[in-house]
């Protein structure tokens, strides 16, 4: 779908407070646009993926985050930047962390959506109005009502409910990995890291759309809006006569006397 049309539709029907994002996994530096920031090269520091999302959606920057730019172990594992070592997969490394049990670590490693090791070199991210590449995923942050509208839009053509998962951690894996692997929209609970490092606020959540579902989701937004039933801002029922307090009633009676 044309990204300019997509941006216009989201601004009309969703009105997000931060930029909707185009996301692409890149296998080499040759796939990166000319005007791109790499955290280590251009900012002199390593960051988390959720921090990169926050920068892109709030600053409007185009970023590419690779292994050398990234500081979070869970995000690195999800992107395939580091190998899935046996001690991580079986949970035995948990004893050195002082936090997880062996069973919990193994369970989280098993559940984490992840790309194959060394499959991709960079996660490329940009506001959709600035993107010069075709995204694999579009991510939108908003409040629960805005995300509800996006869920309604995706389910408009099928009537089939969306299913998403949440562990409270590694939402970058849900945004970039699960959406690509399952080729389906996701509504996403921001993780602790997204709130600490990405500055995601308490009222925010995310919604992702794979490239294959962009057009049909926008069609659902348009249809719902035209119906007058499914809109954002949510229509409020205001056609009623208020019951005024007794003091106001008495004052009105006095003022209305001729």
How far apart (Å, rounded) are the C-alpha atoms in residues 175 and 186? Answer: 8
Whether the Cβ atoms of residue 33 and residue 132 lie closer than 8 Å to each other: yes
Whether the Cβ atoms of residue 145 and residue 232 lie closer than 8 Å to each other: yes
pLDDT attached to residue 147: 97
Question: In terms of Cα–Cα distance, which of 57, 59, 64, 70 is closest to 19?
Answer: 57
Per-residue pLDDT of the chain (258 residues; tens, 9 = 90+): 899 999 999 999 999 999 999 999 999 999 999 999 999 999 999 999 999 999 999 999 999 999 999 999 999 999 999 999 999 999 999 988 888 899 999 999 999 999 999 999 999 999 999 999 999 999 999 999 999 999 999 999 999 999 999 888 999 999 999 999 999 999 999 999 999 999 999 999 999 999 999 999 999 999 999 998 899 999 889 999 999 999 999 999 999 998
Supply angle C-alpha 119, 125, 126, rounded to 5: 155
pLDDT attached to residue 142: 97
72 phi/psi in degrees, rounded to 5? -95, 130
Structure tokens at 185: 């929209």
Residue 82: CB partners within 8 Å, gap ≥ 6? 67, 73, 76, 117
List, in sequence order, the alpha helices (H) in 14-48: none
Whether the Cβ atoms of residue 91 and residue 109 lie closer than 8 Å to each other: yes
Beta-ladder partners of 236: none
pLDDT attached to residue 228: 86
Predicted TM-score (pTM) of this structure: 0.92
Residue 99: CB partners within 8 Å, gap ≥ 6? none
CB-CB neighbours of 256 under 10 Å = 7
pLDDT attached to residue 154: 96
pLDDT attached to residue 98: 82
DSSP string, 76-119: HHHHTSS---HHHHSSGGGGGTTSS-HHHHHHHHHHS--PPTTS
CB-CB neighbours of 75 under 10 Å = 30
pLDDT attached to residue 97: 85
Structure tokens at 63: 């970023």
pLDDT attached to residue 96: 87
């Amino acid at each position: 779908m044309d990204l300019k049309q997509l941006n216009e539709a989201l601004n009309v029907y969703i009105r997000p407070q931060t930029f909707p994002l185009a996301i692409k996994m890149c296998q080499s530096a040759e796939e990166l646009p000319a005007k791109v920031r790499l955290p280590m090269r251009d900012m002199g520091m390593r960051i988390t993926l959720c921090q990169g999302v926050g920068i892109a959606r709030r600053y409007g920057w185009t970023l590419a985050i690779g292994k050398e730019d990234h500081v979070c172990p869970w995000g690195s594992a999800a992107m395939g930047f580091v190998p899935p070592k046996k001690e991580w997969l079986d949970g035995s490394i948990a004893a050195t962390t002082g936090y997880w049990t062996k069973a919990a670590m193994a369970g989280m490693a098993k559940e984490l959506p992840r790309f194959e090791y060394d499959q991709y070199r960079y996660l490329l991210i940009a506001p959709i109005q600035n993107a010069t590449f075709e995204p694999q995923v579009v991510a939108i942050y908003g409040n629960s009502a805005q995300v509800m509208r996006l869920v309604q839009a995706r389910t408009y053509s099928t009537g089939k409910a969306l299913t998403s998962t949440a562990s409270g951690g590694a939402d970058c894996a849900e945004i970039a990995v699960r959406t690509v692997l399952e080729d389906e929209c996701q509504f996403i609970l921001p993780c602790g890291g997204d709130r600490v490092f990405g500055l995601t606020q308490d009222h925010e959540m995310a919604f992702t759309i794979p490239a294959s579902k962009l057009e049909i989701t926008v069609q659902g937004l348009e249809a719902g809006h035209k119906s007058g039933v499914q809109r954002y801002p949510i229509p409020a029922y205001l056609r009623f006569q208020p019951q005024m307090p007794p003091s106001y009633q008495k004052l009105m009676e006095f003022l209305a006397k001729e």
